[in-house]
A and B are shown apart, each in its own frame.
Chain A
Amino acid sequence: MKYYDKLIFELSQKGRVGYSLPVNRFPSAPELPEELRRGTSPELPEVSEVDVVRHYTNLSQMNFGVDTGFYPLGSCTMKYNPKINEEVAALPGFNGLHPLMPAGLVKGALKVYQEMDKALSAITGMAAFTFAPCAGAHGELTGLMIMRQYHMNRGDLKRTKVIVPDSAHGTNPASAAVCGLEVVEVKSLENGRINVEALQALLDDTVAGIMMTNPNTLGLFETQIKEIAERVHAVGGLLYYDGANMNPLMGVVRPGDMGFDIMHLNLHKTFSTPHGGGGPGSGPVGVAAHLVDCLPKIQVSGFHGNFGVILRAYAYILMLGKQNLKKVGQYSVLSANYIKECLKDAYKLPIEGVCKHEFVFDGLVNDGGHDDVHGATTLDVAKRLLDFGFHAPTIYFPLLFHQALMIEPTETESKETIDAFIDVMHKIAAEAAEDPAILQNAPHNAPISRPDETQAARNPILKYKDAR
């Protein structure tokens, strides 16, 4: 990766064009009235086609993707994105469909939705899915709306609370707040699982439901899920399954069978569609049979969700079929446990035992700190990994540990890749013990060194004109 310092605006030369449009063969219509026309021209770049191609190719070379290398980003499921997905999603028979075309003109598209509904229901044990949500957080919000709608339909208006474990992702409480629900936090036990007694104390007839991931954000299976489901259901609450951690359960366990009533899936995690640098994703929401009626009353996006993403996920499911589904879950768990066992000598493992698709370390065993020398932090480990051609794990999440380092390898990485990562992690740990400054000044060979984020937040420069 090499540093490239241009913005497209800086390549602009007046009079240069990068487009090709047809000759205007229409009679000239009278001009728009003056008072409806914009006063000044937008200052967009004026560049040639080749300028554009080179500029964005150069930008791309400062980026790291799954196709570049190992991406063990915990809770993000950065698995390989198959190329057949891209090919089929680009077919003109899908790309040219207007979203308001009547059913008779879009039979192929509707078939994709029907088949995906069946497949996702089979994989999760839900009764039906809506595909409108465009991302995981959007799915959560939609799912909570369904939860509230269900209670409202029954005239049960006092259920305004939603219970969220303290280890939950920040989107869980934020989605609940957007949905008008009050968030109540339930504490975790020493072993990282939900404290069922503490949960019981929160349960009453004002509880709309509980939001959980299982396995949880520590990668640990909530072993008391049956009891949790029984207790929440006993007071009339519903169970929401955040599908962020569905990957290890693929082909082995179904959320529906564990008692969950509503869930979302992240097609961009579990179902191999590319993350695109932060979207577009797709967050379909599944519901159990008793909630199917609530689906159509809730419109959360413009048309039918991110159809292009759904096509890719469908191609993936067809490639997996019933024969390969289980390998996804099992090998994601196998690889995670293997890394955990190999590295726990050098990194603190706060909770022993089998994990699922990911696990969390709490910093280095020996961070090299002594007297006046600051030890290396999780941030430093993350930055040093970049020098070795690996993406960093998720850091400082979950909030339960101060130096959280969350590793999720996925099932698509070979043992050789994983072993190379383990070697580098050991090398970094040794460097930290010896001379933590090596880590603290990392990355040393990325396109840029650590930027001044405080400056960025204190004096925000958010567009080209402000930068000049």
Chain B
Amino acid sequence: MAGFNYIPHTDADVRAMLERIGVRQVEDLYADVPKEFIKKEPYDLPDAMSEGEVREWFESLSGMNAKMKVFVGAGAYDHYTPAVIPYITSRSEFLTAYTPYQCEISQGTLRYIFEFQSMVCELTGMDISNASLYDGPTAAAEAMKMSVACTKKKTRVLLSKGLLPNVIAVVETYARFHGVEIGYVPVMNGQTCPNCLKAELAKGDVAGVIVPEINRYGIIEDHSGFAETIHGAKALLVEYCDPSALAVVKTPAEWGADIAVGDGQSLGIPLCYGGPYVGFMAVKKDYMRKMPGRIVGQTSDKEGRRAYVLTLQAREQHIKREKATSNICSNESLMALWVTVYLSLMGPEGLREVNRLSYDGAHYLHDQLMATGRFTEVFPGKPFLKEFVLQPKEAAGLLQDRLEKAGFFAALETEEGYVSFCVTEKRTRAEIDELVKIVKEG
């Protein structure tokens, strides 16, 4: 039989092993499987390819995708990835390791997770971070469950309608099955409405409220008074945030949040059609033991050397089983490394610069688009960072088609019929001028 590069067994190996086991052929090792379940017909799969054929096939698939200049955000941001990151994350000692159960030979993983936790705390201002979660929307769903667990006996969680649609959808899915009732706080004048929040809280039974620091219209929300109102109702304030923006905008801790969640994708992770990304969660110290997910802590080994371990494990599924705070049993470790290397390279100054470039670029695009006379303002004067919405005077679809033909993915339509634009530091002035020209030409 022809050899296969991932399986080293030679015919002689197989014979020797079978002999040691005391069976005649490999099939005998399945003698305990009822015969009717042993598949007899060939599998309906393609023929095996050589490595070169696989490479060519993927190149052709990759070529079937369009190469676009991305002017859309909505939860996935086209920020710059420093060359160092993929170089480090593809080191096989990181890439091919399992969860760091054997801490003595996993200090590399454990140390970068400790650094990741420290950096998330710096960005959010919160006390404690976990080792990461799947993505932003699932982190919000975990925060929903955690609010209920922390406040006992309460069964409602409020969502701002200003959250991204996919965050709302995922939280709703989890809530529906977990037995949590979801209430909604509408957006008025481009921001989660404080009076509506009070009215919803007054109905009682609210365990937590999830609000966006920067909402789905790109507006930086003012959450003055939210924490007081929410804590007054003995509920938790959960801030959903863009960690990149946290270098410049008010932190969840400054707003008085109990839990901060979000997606780390904006910290240099490629768009990659939606994943892998990395969710994060950071909390006030009081809630440390209710937080889901892995946590790494510092201790010392027998010689007194600094050492890192997975800790506070009594919260987790492998010990608590059905009583665990969550069913999660991993993190998005390699993506946490990605983010940690990114933040190390960027530092506070680089991150501020990224925001400045995005901010100035977005405002430039906004003003140029308004100057075309083809849009009206939806939320005039509301502060935004890198993303904003406008009301087009033409059908959104026509505008999108025109932009698409010129290689722009832009003007994403919202459910209200607005179009949204996003500018990161990767977008040049020349690209923006070209986009505006195409808008005008319609």
Classify A-B as touching or not with yes or no (CB < 8 A). yes
Contact: B102 with A322, CB < 8 Å?
Answer: no
B138 in the interface, Cβ–Cβ < 8 Å?
A: yes
Contact check, B45 vs A317: say whether CB atoms are below 8 A apart. Answer: yes
> What residues of chain A lie closer than 8 Å to B189, measured between beta carbons?
none
- Are A455 and B294 neighbours in the complex by a CB distance under 8 Å? no
Q: A300-B170, A397-B318 are in contact. Are A38 and B17 (CB under 8 A)?
A: no
In the complex, B217 has a CB within 8 A of chain A: no
Complex CA distance for A275 and B347, rounded to whole angstroms: 28
A312 to B13, CA, bound (A): 29
Using A32-B383, A448-B305 as known contacts, say yes or no to A174 and B317 having CB atoms under 8 A apart. Answer: yes
CA distance A100 to B92 in the complex (A): 32
Interface residues of B in 99-122 (CB under 8 A from A): 99-109, 111-112, 114-115, 117-119, 121-122
B78 at the interface (CB under 8 A from A): yes
Q: Tell me the smallest distance from the CB of B377 to a CB of chain A, in Å.
A: 16
- CB closest chain-B residue, reference A133: B134
Additional pairs, 15, CB under 8 Å, beyond known A443-B104, A456-B299, A463-B129: A18-B346, A42-B351, A60-B91, A63-B93, A76-B98, A95-B270, A100-B412, A109-B65, A254-B39, A277-B99, A301-B137, A319-B49, A322-B48, A412-B6, A447-B107
For the complex of A and B, the 4 pairs showing the least CB-CB separation, nearest first, are A303-B274, A321-B48, A93-B62, A99-B274
Comparing A82-90, A370-378, A424-432, the segment that makes contact with chain B is A82-90
Query: In the complex, A344 Cα to B250 Cα: how many Å?
Result: 62
Indicate with 1 or 0, residue by residue over B232-264, a CB within 8 angstroms of chain A CB atoms. Answer: 000000000000001111110010000000010
Q: Which residue of A lies closest to B300 (CB)?
A: A452
B90 contacts A by Cβ under 8 Å: yes
Smallest CB–CB gap between A82 and chain B, Å?
6
Instruction: Tell me if A278 and B166 are in contact (CB < 8 A).
Output: no
Cα-based distance from A171 to B316 in the complex (angstroms): 9
Closest chain A CB from B71 CB (angstroms): 9
Name the one of A97, A278, A465 contacting B100, with C-beta atoms under 8 angstroms.
A278
- Chain A residues contacting B412 (CB-CB under 8 Å) are 100
A232 to B20, CA, bound (A): 39
Q: CA A176 – CA B324 in complex, angstroms? A: 11
Interface of chain B residues 250 through 291 with chain A (CB within 8 A)? 250-251, 254, 263, 270-278, 288
Chain B, interface residues (CB within 8 Å), range: 35 or more
Q: Given A134-B275, A177-B324, A302-B170, is A322 in contact with B45 using a C-beta cutoff of 8 Å?
A: yes
Known: A301-B138, A327-B4. A108 touches B61 (CB 8 A): yes
A28 with B360: CB separation less than 8 A: yes
Residue B151 lies at the interface, judged by CB distance under 8 Å to chain A: no
| Known contacts A338-B21, A415-B9; A463 and B128 CB within 8 A of each other | yes
Q: How distant is the Cα of A275 from the Cα of B331 in the complex, in angstroms?
A: 10
- Whether B318 pairs with A170 at a CB distance below 8 angstroms is yes
* Contact between chains at B429 and A25 (CB < 8 Å): yes
Question: B61 contacts A111, CB within 8 Å?
Answer: yes
**Is A24's beta carbon under 8 Å from chain B?**
yes
Contacts of B316 in A (CB 8 A): 170
Measured between C-beta atoms, what is the minimum distance from B325 to chain A in Å? 9
* B196 in the interface (beta carbon within 8 A): no
Asked if A64 contacts B332 (CB within 8 A), the reply is: no
Cβ of B58: which chain A residues have Cβ within 8 Å of it? 88, 91, 311, 315
Minimum CB–CB distance for B282 against chain A, Å: 9
- Return the chain A residue nearest B423 by Cβ: A26
> B30–A333 contact, CB under 8 A?
yes
Stretch in B173-181, B202-210, B434-442 with 4+ CB within 8 Å of A: B173-181
Q: Does B326 contact A (CB under 8 A)?
A: yes
In the bound complex, CA of A145 to CA of B176 (Å): 9
A413 CB contacts on chain B under 8 angstroms = 8
What are 6 of the A-B contact pairs (CB < 8 Å)?
A: A21-B354, A52-B84, A56-B91, A145-B173, A279-B276, A450-B104
**A210-B211 Cα distance, complex, nearest whole Å:** 38
In chain A, what residue has the closest Cβ to B175? A180
Contacts of B36 on A, CB cut-off 8 Å? 226
B369 at the A/B interface (Cβ < 8 Å)?
A: no
**B86 adjacent to chain A (CB < 8 Å):** yes
State whether A65 and B96 are in contact (beta carbons under 8 Å apart), knowing that A337-B29, A397-B318 are contacts in the complex.
Answer: yes
Residue in chain A with minimal CB distance to B53: A318
Contact: B9 with A331, CB < 8 Å? yes
Docked-complex contact B46 and A321, CB < 8 angstroms: yes
Residues from chain A with Cβ under 8 Å of B351 in the complex: 42, 44
Cα distance, A67 to B55, chains bound together (Å) = 22
B123 within 8 A of A: yes
A59 contacts B by Cβ under 8 Å:
yes
Contact between chains at B38 and A1 (CB < 8 Å): no
Known interface pairs A64-B93, A302-B277, A308-B275; A101-B68 also in contact (CB < 8 Å) = yes
CA of A457 to CA of B295, assembled, Å = 10
Q: Do the beta carbons of A449 and B301 come within 8 Å of each other?
A: yes
Question: In whole angstroms, how far apart are the Cα atoms of A453 and B64 in the complex?
Answer: 52
Is A449 a contact of B104 with CB atoms below 8 Å? yes
Question: Are B97 and A277 interface neighbours, CB within 8 A?
Answer: yes
Residues of chain A from 143 to 179 with CB closer than 8 A to chain B in the complex: 144-145, 148, 169-171, 173-179
Instruction: Give the residues from 312 to 355 in chain A that come closer than 8 angstroms, CB to CB, to chain B.
Output: 315, 317-325, 327-328, 330-331, 333-335, 337-338, 341-342, 353-354
The reply on A200 being an interface residue by CB < 8 A is no
Across-interface contacts of A123 in B (CB, < 8 A): 43, 45
Known: A64-B105, A177-B323. A279 touches B334 (CB 8 A): yes
Q: Are B26's CB and A334's CB within 8 A?
A: yes
Given A105-B404, A319-B6, also A137-B273 (CB < 8 A): no
CB pair B76 A8 closer than 8 Å: no
Pairwise interchain contact A280-B17, C-beta atoms closer than 8 A: no
CB of B273 within 8 A of CB of A457, answer: no
Interface residues of A in 63-84 (CB under 8 A from B): 63-68, 71, 73, 76, 78-82, 84
User: Whole-angstrom distance between the alpha carbons of A354 and B33 in the complex?
Assistant: 11
**Smallest CB gap from B172: residue in A:** A299
Inter-chain contacts of B346 with A (CB < 8 A): 18-19, 44
